[in-house]
Amino acid sequence: MMKNPTKNYKSVTSIPITLLFCLSFFSTFSHASLPDFTELVEDTSPSVVNIATIKHGNKYSNALDGIAEQYNLPKEMPEIFRHFFGPQGPLGGIPRDGRGPMPGQSAEKSSLGSGFIISSDGYILTNNHVIKGADEIVVRLSDRRELDAQLIGADERADLALLKVNATGLPEVDLGNSDKLKVGEWVLAIGSPFGFDYSVTAGIVSAKGRSLPNESYVPFIQTDVAINPGNSGGPLFNLEGEVVGINSQIYTRSGGFMGVSFAIPINVAIDVVEQLKDKGRVSRGWLGVVIQEVNKDLAESFGLKQAKGALIAQLVPGSPAEAGGLLSGDIITAFNGQEINLSTDLPHRVGRVRPGEKAKLNIVRNGKTKVIFLEIGALPEGDSPQIGQSNNQQNFQKNRLGITVGELTGQQRSYGEGVLVQDVTSGGAGALSGIVRGDVIAQIYGEPIRSVADFNRVVESLPKGRSVPMRIVRRGAVMFIPLRLIE
Residues recognised as catalytic: 129, 159, 232
Query: Pseudo-torsion of CA 328, 333, 337, 339, nearest 10°?
Result: 140
Exposure b/e, 330-346, CB count within 10 A at least 16 = b: bbbbbbeeeebbbbbbb
Q: How far lies 168's CA from each of 3, 119, 120, 121, 138, in Å?
A: 83, 9, 6, 4, 17
CA distance 208 to 344: 12
At position 225, the amino acid (one-letter code) is V
CA distance 425 to 432: 10
Task: Answer for the pair 261, 225: CB distance below 8 angstroms, yes or no.
Answer: yes
DSSP 26-51: HHHHHHHHS---HHHHHHHGGGEEEE
Closest of 190, 228, 225, 231 to residue 207, by C-alpha: 225
CA within 13 Å, CB half, 280: 3
Instruction: Tell me phi and psi for residue 282, to 5 degrees.
Output: -120, 130
Q: Collapsing DSSP states into helix, strand and coil, what is residue 70?
A: helix
Measured from the Cβ of residue 69, the count of other Cβ atoms closer than 10 Å reads 10
DSSP 154-191: EETTTTEEEEEES-SS---PEE--GGG--TT-EEEEEE
Using alpha carbons only, how large is the chain's radius of gyration in Å? 31
Instruction: Tell me phi and psi for residue 207, to 5 degrees.
Output: -165, 165
End-to-end Cα, the chain, rounded Å: 93
Task: Answer for the pair 481, 442: CB distance below 8 angstroms, yes or no.
Answer: no
Task: Answer for the pair 374, 320: CB distance below 8 angstroms, yes or no.
Answer: yes
Strands 123-126 and 160-165: antiparallel
